[in-house]
Chain A
Amino acid sequence: MKESFREMTVNYLKTLIPFFSTLLLVLICFVPTHIPLSHFLRPDVGLACVYFWVLYHRDVFGLAALALLGIIVDTLSGTPLGVHIAVFVFVYLMTIYFGNLVNTKPFIVSWTGFACVCLMALFIKGGILSLYHSKTVPILYVLMTYLATVLIYPLITKFNIFLYDKYLFDDEAIYEQG
């Protein structure tokens, strides 16, 4: 059945939901809470979202979204422009090549997969920044960010699944295929 212009527009806007929901979560993370230790334990929400969307629904989270998100995170965090793009592309490639090992398995497996990818991604980010500043970034603080990110991953997944089921899941397509 041919789609009307309105339907096409709505469907296109729906594909932007993953990017904007990720952006929303990233922006919320930068809001100061003034609560002790809160900034050291800030999770890298962008990383978790990129992993989730690339692993399960790569069609709605492409390289352009990845690059734009990287630029935004670099600007907000004050890190040199390009660092987060490189890190997100690394996560993208890792998820594409090794995603098949985890994406049809129980959640705990994909969580473990995320824990591995996240550790490597944060060390790559730390490595790039260490080279850039000619000084090693504090490993303990990187590990704190890592722990916070891995621990928050189930919540991020829950939120993203909710978004997918509510706005992106296409019943009709399945009905037509079935």
Chain B
Amino acid sequence: MKRRRVLFIQLSQFRIFLRKFAVSAVVFVALGLIVLGKSGNAYLNAFQSGVSRVLNPVIRVFELPGDGVYFLYAKVSDIVRVYQENKSLKEEKKIWQSDKSRLQALRLENRLLAEMLHYTPPKEAEFITAKVISVEGDGFSHSLTVFIPDMKDVKKGQVVLHEANLIGRIDDINGAYARVLLITDISSKIPVLIERTNAKAILSGNNTDMLNLLYTTSENAPVVGDKIVTSGVGGIFPSGLDIGRIVSADTHEIKVKAFANIESIEYVYIVDYGFETPLLLEEEKH
């Protein structure tokens, strides 16, 4: 049988070529986006903010029935906890009463000394309460999305606390929603102090519930139980904010357990300490 000559590319072959090209194009787009993201491209960030702005209200709708489930769980665990807390609170009250009188004397003394030094106290911190609407805490990233009806006072870089403990900072703002980069995230690095020795170090996240303490000196070697607070170096976080406690201190690795538990965070405080961090300045330039 004589074979038919094919003068043009068959449509099916063209389709196959197109399909192959489409896969390669998507792969290149993906890699391009990753590289652009690493270089901190402003347009890419704006694009991601836009997508967040559309999706976050949808998540908030789903979050409402989730709140109901949590409400029941929280009520049951609250009843159990209340009995235990009541006992310990009675004990604490006795100690507090004796401390109260001592504190009043110290406050008076402090005021007199401050007057003698002409010391100007720093501006009182202002805070906004925000509701957590989504949590990301697996092995790949650690972040929260919070809902704040009035976003005008919230700026990128502001400190985020849960109760009195540092949990992260504002990473991105989209309308009434903000993404919080948690201290446990792999990209988080915070200058800290070991409270007992006043030794400086860096606390690094690693996408687990433990943090790594880096750049510690052998002179002021940390021990298990040492409290870690922010040092204030770098101007992003103020000094003295509680972060966590050392739970293991080997020669090659020091692990810190954060005071705040990511699973139980329902509301957070976004705190404005009134100082301009490099991040805030960078945001204002844009």
What A residues does B47 contact at CB under 8 A? 81
In the complex, the answer to whether A82 meets B263 with C-beta atoms within 8 Å is no
Produce 1/0 per residue, B51-91, CB < 8 A to A. 11001001100110010011001100000000000000000
Given the known A-B contacts A86-B31, A141-B207, are A30 and B134 also in contact in the complex, defined by CB atoms under 8 Å?
yes
Q: Which of B32-40, B226-234, B244-252 contacts A (4 or more CB under 8 A)?
A: B32-40
**Listed stretches A10-18, A122-130, A170-178; interface member:** A122-130
Whether B26 pairs with A78 at a CB distance below 8 angstroms is: no
Closest A residue to B32 by CB, please name it. Answer: A82
**Once bound together, how far apart are the Cα atoms of A135 and B204, in whole Å?**
11
Q: Min CB distance, A22 to chain B, in Å?
A: 14
Number of B interface residues at 8 Å Cβ cutoff, please give it: 56
Question: Known: A33-B69, A38-B263, A40-B138. Is A138-B59 also a contact (CB below 8 A)?
Answer: no
What is the CA–CA distance of A142 and B30 in the complex, to the nearest angstrom? 21
A111 CB-CB contact with B under 8 Å = no
Interface size class of A (residues with CB under 8 A): 35 or more
A27 near B62 with CB under 8 A, answer: yes
Which label, helix, strand, loop or mixed, suits the secondary structure of the A interface? helix
With A27-B55, A34-B74 as given contacts, are A82 and B187 in contact (CB-CB < 8 Å)? no
A78–B141 touching, CB < 8 Å: yes
Are the C-beta atoms of B23 and A93 separated by less than 8 Å? yes
**Distance (whole angstroms) from the CB of A73 to the closest CB of chain B:** 10
Within 8 A of A (CB), among B227-273: 262-266
**Are B37 and A80 touching (Cβ within 8 A)?**
yes
The answer to whether A67 and B136 touch (CB under 8 A), given A31-B59, A135-B186, A141-B208, is no
Q: Is the CB of A32 within 8 A of B135?
A: yes
What's the Cα separation between A74 and B22 when bound, in Å? 21
Known: A33-B70, A133-B186, A138-B207. A145 touches B23 (CB 8 A): no
Q: How far is the CA of A125 from the CA of B55 in the complex (A)?
A: 23
Q: Which A residues are CB-close (under 8 A) to B70?
A: 32-35
Scoring A63, A71, A72, A75 by chain B CB atoms within 10 A of each residue's CB, the highest score goes to A75
Q: A137 touches which one: B33, B38, B207, B264 (CB < 8 A)?
A: B207
The answer to the question of B113 belonging to the interface, with a C-beta cut-off of 8 Å to chain A, is no
Residue from B26, B51, B58, B206 within 8 A of A138 (CB atoms): B206
- The answer to the question of B278 belonging to the interface, with a C-beta cut-off of 8 Å to chain A, is no
28 A-B pairs whose Cβ atoms sit less than 8 Å apart in the complex = A27-B58, A30-B59, A30-B135, A32-B265, A34-B70, A34-B73, A34-B74, A34-B264, A34-B266, A39-B137, A39-B263, A67-B26, A67-B30, A76-B55, A77-B143, A78-B142, A80-B33, A86-B34, A93-B23, A129-B186, A132-B37, A132-B38, A135-B206, A137-B139, A137-B206, A139-B139, A141-B139, A141-B208
